[in-house]
Amino acid sequence: MTSSSEEKEISRLLQSFPRLSMEEDKQRDIIRQLRQDKALLEKRKGRTTSRKAIGGIAAFLAAVWLASPFLPPSQAPSPPGSQKTEGESRPAAGATETDLVLTIDSQIQSYVEKALAQTHEAVRPKSVTVIVADPNSGEILGIGSRGKDESESRFDGAVKAMPDPGAAYQIVTLAAAIQEGKFDPREIYESGTYTDIPGEPIKDFNNGIGWGKITYLEGVLRSSNVAFAKLAHERLQRETMQQYLQRFGFGQKTGAGVADEEAGQLPKLDEPRQVALAATGLGGAVTPLQQVAAVGAIANGGKLMQPHLFKQAGAGENSRYMIRQVVSEETAEKVRDILDSVVNRVHGSGVGLRLAQEDYSVAGKPSVIEKTDQQGNATGKYVVSVIGFAPSDDPKVLVYIGVDEPQREWPEVLSWRKIVAEPFQQVLQNSLQHIQKR
Delineate the domains of the chain, giving CATH numbers in brackets: 1-76 (no CATH), 157-437 (3.40.710.10)
List, in sequence order, every residue forming a beta bridge with 129; answer none if it has no partner: 145, 402
For residues 346 and 147, the model is more confident at: 147
Q: Which helix (H) or strand (E) holds 279?
A: helix 272-280
Phi-psi category of 8—alpha, beta or left, where left has phi over 0 and alpha has psi -120 to 50? alpha
Closest of 253, 216, 251, 326 to residue 83, by C-alpha: 253
Instruction: Give the 3-state secondary structure of residue 80.
Output: coil
- Whole-prediction pTM: 0.81
- Residues whose CB is less than 8 angstroms from the CB of residue 122 and which lie 6 or more positions away in sequence, other chains included: 418, 419
What are 164-204's pLDDT values in tens digits? Answer: 999 999 999 999 999 999 999 999 999 999 999 999 999 99
Helices 167-179, 272-280: crossing angle, 10 deg rounding? 110
State the pLDDT confidence band at 320, using cuts at 50, 70 and 90: confident
Instruction: Give the 3-state secondary structure of residue 343.
Output: helix
Taking CA atoms, 260 is separated from 16, 17, 152, 160, 287, in Å, by: 8, 9, 12, 8, 12
Which range, of 56-70, 243-257, 320-334, averages the lowest pLDDT? 56-70
**In contact, 385 and 123? CB cutoff 8 Å:** no
**For 227-240, b where at least 16 C-beta lie within 10 A, e where not — what string?**
bbbbbbbbbbebeb
List, in sequence order, every residue forming a beta bridge with 398; answer none if it has no partner: 133, 389
Residue 83: predicted pLDDT: 46
Give the alpha-carbon dihedral of 138, 119, 43, 149, to 10 degrees: -90
Residue 49: predicted pLDDT: 41
State the pLDDT confidence band at 401, using cuts at 50, 70 and 90: very high
List, in sequence order, every residue forming a beta bridge with 368; answer none if it has no partner: 384
For residues 141 and 18, the model is more confident at: 141
List, in sequence order, every residue forming a beta bridge with 304; answer none if it has no partner: 324
- How is residue 308 annotated by DSSP? B
| Residue 17, number of CB atoms within 10 A of its CB | 23
The DSSP secondary structure of 306-361, one letter per residue, reads PPBSEEETT---GGGGEEEE-S-HHHHHHHHHHHHHHHHSTT-TTGGG--SSTTS-
| Residue 67 clears pLDDT 50, i.e. is over it | no
What are 1-52's pLDDT values in tens digits? Answer: 455 655 665 565 555 555 444 555 555 555 555 555 555 545 544 444 444 4
Beta strand 140-147 pairing with 363-372: unpaired
State the pLDDT confidence band at 352, using cuts at 50, 70 and 90: confident
What are 103-114's pLDDT values in tens digits? Answer: 999 999 999 999
| Residue 330 clears pLDDT 50, i.e. is over it | yes
Closest of 338, 382, 316 to residue 166, by C-alpha: 382
Rg from Cα positions in the chain: 22
Averaged pLDDT for residues 378-395: 90
Beta strand 193-194 pairing with 188-190: unpaired
The Cα 332–Cα 299 span in angstroms is 7
